């Protein structure tokens, strides 16, 4: 059970294989707290970089220390970890972030500001569509799904840096909203 100073008192960590690219060696970390952590979301929304928040559905995606996280009431996902050791270290880091934010909530103005996530199909339509696998995904559609969910960034698609795709890259950034960095 959470205390006034600690929202997450215990959790499990799992290494999850990228469901879009089985056997690719791409992993994410899943942290499963014992408690419902949604009460901290408005505070995290105020302190995370490039946060995308859906208050009604209790989903928050944001960046801390260069790592992208997706928060749900009973789960935190961290994209791109190499092994269980890194997943455990990332879990300790994000758990401390949640608990520190919870401890300091009296000093933080909570933010209910929401940004809508684009659909996977909206993103997919702007990708090169060649299924080249240079990003590590088997299809551009799979890439679009993880881009939407905050698991990866645009930099993972080498083709989007080429001159012929720069306009599409800008349009993808616009989908994520005016407050988004160029790294959805």
pLDDT digits (tens, 9 = 90+) for 41-52: 999 999 998 788
Q: What is the pLDDT of residues 91-101, one digit of tens each?
A: 999 999 999 99
Q: Which of 143, 149, 144, 121 is nearest to 59 (CA)?
A: 149
Contact of 11 with 94, CB cutoff 8 Å:
no
User: Could you give the domains of the chain?
Assistant: 11-107 (3.30.310), 120-175 (1.10.15.40)
User: Can you give the pTM of this predicted structure?
Assistant: 0.66
CA distance 184 to 172: 8
Q: Kindly write down the DSSP assignment for every residue of 26-95, as one continuous string.
A: -EEEEEEESS--GGGHHHHHHHSEEEEEETTTTEEEEEETTEEEEEETTEEEEEEE-SHHHHHHHHHHHH
Q: What is the pLDDT of residues 85-121, one digit of tens each?
A: 988 999 999 999 999 999 999 999 999 988 767 889 9
């Amino acid at each position: 059970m959470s205390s006034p100073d600690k929202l997450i008192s215990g959790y499990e960590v799992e290494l999850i294989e990228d469901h879009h690219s089985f056997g690719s060696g791409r992993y994410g970390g899943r942290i499963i707290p014992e408690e419902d952590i949604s009460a901290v979301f408005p505070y995290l929304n105020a302190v995370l970089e490039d946060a995308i928040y859906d208050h009604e559905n209790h989903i928050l995606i944001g960046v801390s220390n260069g790592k992208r996280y997706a928060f749900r009431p009973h789960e935190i996902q961290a994209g791109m970890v190499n092994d269980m050791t890194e997943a455990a270290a990332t879990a300790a880091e994000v758990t401390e972030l949640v608990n520190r934010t919870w401890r300091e909530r009296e000093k933080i103005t909570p933010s209910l500001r929401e940004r809508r996530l684009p659909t996977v199909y909206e993103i997919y339509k702007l990708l090169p569509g060649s299924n080249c696998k240079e990003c590590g995904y088997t299809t551009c559609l799979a890439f679009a799904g993880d881009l939407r969910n905050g698991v990866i960034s645009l930099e993972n698609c080498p083709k989007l840096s080429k001159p012929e795709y720069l306009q599409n890259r800008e349009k993808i950034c616009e989908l994520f909203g005016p407050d988004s960095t160029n790294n959805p």
